[in-house]
């Protein structure tokens, strides 16, 4: 990276969507400054850098902000294009990668939000089943590939991998076992955590669970 | 286009997100076959081409499906890259375009779903003011540029322009005037409708309104 290159990430340590950006930066070997944000008392910097949504993550590159995790990941892929490409080069394969990353956003992210904002006793059988069915669909898409990106970690992996440290929390809240219900996805998470770019970008699942319980108490669902 | 090139669009005539794909194809001068879908009785073809979401639009290019309107728009931009580029070449500008297209998807698309599924008398409470504020935010982003894409029609324009033929419907349901509340956006729509790629891809606003009323009756809100 050039000596005058300044990369800052406005994020919160437990955020699954912030972790996407961390994985992408790590894959590209980009050094950056991580500035933890308080979302209950938003900083002037966050409000200045993301006036539209006022959310994390925000990547600030040489003073210019990029917002929305998957927009940021594509930006990282295009700026630092000489190392570890995240999107394939073929337009049809790129479209498939974008489709599945969008699926992770629409389905898994939304499921995660519902799980976190619902009391344990109200986690209906149907919602739990839908979540597990969604994970099984991802397993089907992974198939026998080591990564969704094929032989190397790609865009869809970046979108999905943060959940590997959140699954412990979902298992507890929903009372299911990833290993039992989605063994392939479980194995995928274990395998990917062996990569430094992933293990250094994710957080300890037990710390995430403590955090989740405190957050659920604050939201009045625990 | 090569003699053996086959482009098919599975769509419904009134769909604002289907129109995005039509505008993109028209900008690129791509000939395609439009196959109207019945969403109340989904065809085998649709279910085969979009098994995950079972929704339109689906672009089928030489037998291979691409789903999700903005994924399709980017695919079209990359395949037919020699004419009318929709995304800028600079990574930061591309990130800004993706951000605003995502904004149209997250905010405007969600607003209009609420508008369409809410009774007239409940519209104020359901967020009429928020919708108009969102449109004003888009006006601010447009500024003095002829298009969101700058001097030429771009990715954000493709995402937003279909609403130009739906605004008449929203004005009637919400009881507001786009010309009075968002004059810049109103002028932008009129200006863009002078482009053949836009006017041929959109539908008559009064036909859209008739369709919307029938749909609202079916949904029990009219």
Q: Are residues A32 and A118 in the same domain?
A: no
Which A residues 120-139 touch B at CB under 8 Å?
137
| Tokens 């250094």 belong to residue | A200
Please state, in angstroms and rounded to a whole number, the distance separating the CA atoms of residues A156 and B53.
Answer: 17
Examine residue B217 and say whether the peptide bond preceding it is cis (omega within 30 degrees of 0).
no
- Residues in CB range of A154: below 8 A, 6 or more apart: A85, A86, A87, A88, A97, A147, A148
Please report residues of B whose CB lies closer than 8 A to that of A99.
Answer: 66-68, 71
Band of pLDDT at residue A122, cut at 50, 70 and 90: confident
Exposure string for A128-138, b = 16+ CB within 10 A, e = fewer: beebbebbebb
On chain A, the residues whose CB falls within 8 A of the CB of B88 are none
Question: CA B48 to CA A192: how far, in whole Å?
Answer: 32
Q: In this predicted structure, what is the pLDDT of residue B103? A: 97
Q: Are residues A181 and A154 in the same domain?
A: yes
Task: Determine the Cα angle at A155 with ends A153 and A158, to 5°.
Answer: 70
- Say if pTM beats, i.e. exceeds, 0.90: yes
Interface test with B, best of A21, A55, A68, A99 (most B CBs within 10 A): A99
Handedness of CA B178, B179, B182, B185 (dihedral sign): positive
Residues A133, A181 contacting (CB under 8 angstroms): no
- Do A138 and A113 share a structural domain? yes
φ, ψ for residue A34 (rounded to 5)?
-100, 120
Report pLDDT digits (tens) over B60-113: 999 999 999 999 999 999 999 999 999 999 999 999 999 999 999 999 999 999
pLDDT at B134: 96
Among B79, B109, B138, the domain-final residue is: B79
Alpha helices in B143-204 (DSSP H): 155-160, 167-174, 178-181, 183-192, 196-199
Q: What is the CATH number of the domain that holds A11?
A: 3.40.30.10
Strand partners, B12: none
Region B6-23 average pLDDT: 98
The answer as to whether A18 is a domain residue is yes
Listing DSSP states for chain A in one string gives --TT--EEEEE-TT-HHHHHHHHHHHHTT---EEEE--TTS--HHHHHH-TTT--S-EEEETTEEEESHHHHHHHHHHHTTTSS-SS-SSHHHHHHHHHHHHHIIIIIIHHHHHHHTS-GGGS-HHHHHHHHHHHHHHHHHHTT-SBTTBSS--HHHHHHGGGGGTHHHHHHHHT--HHHH-HHHHHHHHHHTTSHHHHTTS--HHHHHHHHHHHHHHTT--
Asked whether residue B71 falls in the same domain as residue B178, the answer is no
* Confidence (pLDDT) at B2: 56
**pLDDT at residue B5, as a whole number:** 83
Cα(B73)–Cα(B66) distance, integer angstroms: 10
In this prediction, residue B121 has a pLDDT band, given cuts at 50, 70 and 90, of very high
Q: A99 and A61 in one domain?
A: no
Test B92 with A75 for CB contact under 8 angstroms. Answer: yes
Residues A30 and A99 reside in one and the same domain:
no
Regarding whether A145 and A40 lie in a shared domain, the answer is no
Q: Same domain for A116 and A192?
A: yes
Residues paired with residue A11 on neighbouring β-strands, in sequence order: A36
Q: Could you tell me the residue range of the domain that residue B125 belongs to?
A: 91-219
B81-117 residues labelled b (16+ CB within 10 A) or e (exposed): eeebbbbbeebbebbbbbbbbbbbbebbeebbeebbe
| DSSP one-letter code for B150 | B
| B68 at A interface, C-beta within 8 A | yes
B84 assigned to some structural domain: no
pLDDT of residue A2: 56
Q: For residues A72 and A176, state if they share a domain.
A: no
Q: What is the percent of chain A with per-residue pLDDT over 70, rounded to a whole number? A: 98
Using pLDDT thresholds of 50, 70 and 90, give the confidence band for residue A126: confident
The ipTM value here is: 0.95
Mean pLDDT along residues B187-199 = 97
Residue B127 falls within a domain, yes or no? Answer: yes
Asked if pLDDT for residue B58 goes beyond 90, the answer is: yes
DSSP code, position B108: I
Residue B1: inside a domain: no
- Per the domain annotation, does B86 fall within a domain? no
Same domain? For A100 and A187 the reply is yes
Cβ of B92 within 8 Å of Cβ of A61? The answer is yes
Gap between the Cα atoms of A20 and A12, Å rounded? 12
Do B112 and B41 sit in the same domain of this protein? no
CA distance A155 to B53: 20
Do residues A126 and A71 make contact, with C-beta atoms less than 8 angstroms apart?
A: no
Q: Cβ of B102 under 8 Å from any chain A Cβ?
A: yes
Kindly state whether residue A115 falls inside one of the protein's structural domains. Answer: yes
Question: How many domains does chain B fold into?
Answer: 2
Per-residue pLDDT at A89: 96
Q: Which two tokens stand for residue A96?
A: 């498939």
The DSSP string of A10-48 is EE-TT-HHHHHHHHHHHHTT---EEEE--TTS--HHHHH
Tell me if chain A has a CB within 8 Å of the CB of B160.
no
> Is the residue at A35 inside a domain?
yes
Q: Average pLDDT of B112-139?
A: 93
d(CA B164, CA B15): 12
Instruction: Kindly state whether A66 is in contact with chain B, defined as any CB-CB distance less than 8 angstroms.
Output: yes
In a domain, A2, yes or no: no
Q: Which of B20, B54, B79 is the last residue of a domain?
A: B79
- Reported confidence tier of residue B168, pLDDT bands at 50, 70, 90: very high
pLDDT over 90 (residue A208):
yes
CATH label of the domain that carries residue B214: 1.20.1050.10
**Which of B79, B111, B128 lies at the terminal end of a domain, its last residue?**
B79
Residues B186 and B119 in one domain: yes
Cβ–Cβ gap A94/B102 under 8 Å? no
Q: Is A71 on the interface with B (CB under 8 A)?
A: yes
């Amino acid at each position: 990276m050039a000596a005058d290159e300044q990369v800052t990430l406005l994020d919160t340590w437990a955020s699954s969507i912030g972790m996407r950006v961390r994985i992408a930066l790590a894959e590209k070997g980009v050094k950056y400054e991580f500035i933890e944000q308080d979302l209950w008392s938003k900083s002037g910097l966050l409000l200045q850098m993301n006036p539209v949504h006022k959310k994390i993550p925000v990547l600030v590159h040489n003073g210019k902000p990029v917002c929305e995790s998957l927009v940021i990941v594509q930006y990282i892929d295009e700026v630092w294009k000489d190392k570890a490409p995240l999107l394939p080069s073929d337009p049809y394969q790129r479209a498939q990668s974008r489709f599945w990353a969008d699926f992770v956003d629409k389905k898994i992210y939304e499921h995660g939000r519902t799980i976190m904002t619902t009391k344990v006793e109200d986690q209906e059988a149907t919602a739990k089943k839908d979540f597990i069915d969604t994970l099984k669909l991802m397993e089907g898409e992974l198939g026998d590939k080591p990564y969704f990106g094929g032989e190397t970690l790609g865009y869809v992996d970046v979108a999905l991998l943060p959940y590997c440290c959140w699954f412990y929390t979902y298992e507890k809240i929903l009372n299911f076992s990833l290993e039992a219900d989605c063994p392939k996805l479980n194995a995928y998470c274990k395998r990917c955590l062996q990569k430094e770019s992933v293990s250094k970008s994710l957080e300890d699942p037990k710390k995430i669970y403590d955090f989740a319980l405190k957050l659920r108490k604050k939201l009045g669902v625990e």
